[in-house]
Amino acid sequence: MDILHTLSALRHRLAQEPAVALVPTMGNLHDGHIDLVRRVQSHAPCVVTSIFVNRLQFGPQEDFSRYPRTLEEDCARLKQAGCAVVFAPPENEMYPEPQTVTVDPSPLQDELEGAIRPGHFRGVATVVLKLFHMVQPQVAIFGKKDYQQTLILRTMVRQLALPVTLLAAETVRAPDGLALSSRNRYLSPAERQRAPELHQALKAVAEALKQGKTPQESLERGQLDPTCWRTDYMTVRRAQDLGAPTPEDRSLVVLGAARLGSTRLIDNLEVSR
């Protein structure tokens, strides 16, 4: 496995590859990331995993400075998983000058996560488009835990006619249902015990929807304990575009984001009714 830090080295390494798959990450890898690497191997002979903590997608009060950087450990896991190339550029390689040219995504960027984290999806779309130009993959894969992000990136790929097939993989969970996330390591032992309650709340809403309850009736089944949790949102949306569901819509998604202590968790469940 090659570990590369510059664009020139990356392009030299990939020049003769017939097909490339990209797994964009911010590092601090968990089993969900490794699952993405293994899943995408059947789509291209050369898998590139990028590791870059992208300042542009963090708000001024968010955890950019304390986001875990674990490159050596990450590379060991990626090598074992069969990754061909790790692209881990320093910030001055990814952004050699102030990034004044940015991607303004679809209006969906201002809802849900975007309403809580203004500018977040602009930063995500900008770095992903830049990685697409750097790596020039035929395929890229993302996890469904970031459901809204995946829809926004699909729209970007479609409307900009990018020559990339975007795949979405199912969320990888711990045995108790907690969606794997790099931020889970911020949880105290007591918080980690409570953390699966978010997934349980989503399941309760999903089950009510399957029983024929309306979205509003269903959401009443998914209340989190306000003495422990600060809920940013819990909502039912149309799966295809996150629009408001109608009674005729059969493919839905339940999305939730809440803070447990100082740690913010997000999760979702797709529902067919």
Question: What SS3 class is residue 75?
Answer: helix
N residues, the chain: 273
Tell me how far apart the alpha carbons of residues 261 and 224 are, in angstroms, rounded to a whole number. Answer: 13
Question: Residues 148, 152, 156, CA angle at the centre, nearest 5°?
Answer: 165
Dihedral angle at the C-alpha atoms of 112, 54, 147, 206, nearest 10 degrees?
-70
57 φ, ψ (degrees, to nearest 5): -95, 5
Cα distances (angstroms) measured from residue 87 to each of 64, 122, 143, 273: 20, 22, 19, 42
- DSSP 8-state code for residue 112: T
The token duo for 51 is 């590791």
Q: What is the strand order of the sheet 139-143 is part of?
A: 2-4, 85-87, 46-51, 20-25, 139-143, 165-169
Question: What SS3 class is residue 175?
Answer: coil
Catalytic residue among 33, 43, 120, 133: 33
- Verify whether residue 33 is a known catalytic residue: yes
Task: Report whether 4 contacts 86 (CB < 8 A).
Answer: yes
What are the residue numbers of the active site?
33
